[in-house]
Amino acid sequence: EDGLQPVANGFQMFLDIRRQVEKRRQAMAIVHPKPPQGFKDYLLNRGSYVLEGNPSSRLSVPVISLPQSLSGSPMKELFGEQEQERYKLRLQHLIERASKLVLSAEQEILRVHGRAARAIQNQAVPLSACSILRDEEIY
């Protein structure tokens, strides 16, 4: 009988785990990373994701000229209308692609700055809603 350990109370174990989680959460601090250089100009910060107003962005989108075979044809007007629509689609595609690339690069820079600030504070996990919800699932 001396080799057997007493059966732990399940409620007491749960309370001990909750105390440990609460102690760890209190040790965590809200870390405010230093904003990267030029942060005020970031698309994320300004919210100006569309480059449509920028005339220089339109230069890289070509407008296809009328083929010689359609010069005297009644299809000339139809080609012009369709080419304008194709131009708008190409421009929209370029804008969306460029904006997505810039936004993803900016997000990654902010993520790196946040990770570095947490490393300076010796805090591996950020104090966030997700970490609090994860802690609530520990029992």
Across the chain, mean pLDDT equals 82
More confident of the two residues 6 and 87:
87
Q: What one-letter code names the amino acid at 62?
A: P
Percent share of the chain, pLDDT over 70: 84
DSSP summary character for residue 41: G
Is the pLDDT at 74 greater than 60? The verdict is yes
Tell whether 17 and 60 lie within a shared domain: no
Compute how many other C-beta atoms are within 10 angstroms of the C-beta atom of residue 42: 19
Is the pLDDT at 120 greater than 80? The verdict is yes
Tell whether 74 and 89 lie within a shared domain: yes
Tell whether 20 and 59 lie within a shared domain: no
Q: Is 63 left (phi over 0), alpha (psi -120 to 50) or beta?
A: beta
Tell whether 86 and 65 lie within a shared domain: yes
Q: pTM to 2 decimals? A: 0.54
Q: Can you tell me which residue has the tokens 């029992």?
A: 139
- The answer to whether the CB of 49 falls within 8 A of the CB of 99 is yes
Q: Can you tell me which residue has the tokens 């910060």?
A: 45
**CA–CA separation, 89 and 100 (whole Å):** 16
**CA–CA separation, 105 and 111 (whole Å):** 10
Token digits for 82? 């369709």
What is the total count of domains within the chain?
A: 2
Token digits for 36? 């990267």
Tell whether 114 and 61 lie within a shared domain: yes
pLDDT of residue 19: 93
**CA–CA separation, 114 and 134 (whole Å):** 20
Is the pLDDT at 51 greater than 60? The verdict is no
Asked if residue 1 belongs to a domain, the reply is no
C-alpha atoms less than 13 angstroms from C-alpha of 95 in its C-beta half-sphere: 18
Tell whether 131 and 96 lie within a shared domain: no
Look up the domain containing 88 and give its range.
39-120
Token digits for 55? 């005339």
Q: What is the pLDDT of residues 40-50, one digit of tens each?
A: 888 777 766 55
Tell whether 98 and 79 lie within a shared domain: yes
Tell whether 84 and 23 lie within a shared domain: no
Task: Determine the 3-state secondary structure of 112 from DSSP.
Answer: helix
Tell whether 45 and 109 lie within a shared domain: yes
What confidence category does residue 58 fall into, taking pLDDT thresholds of 50, 70 and 90? low
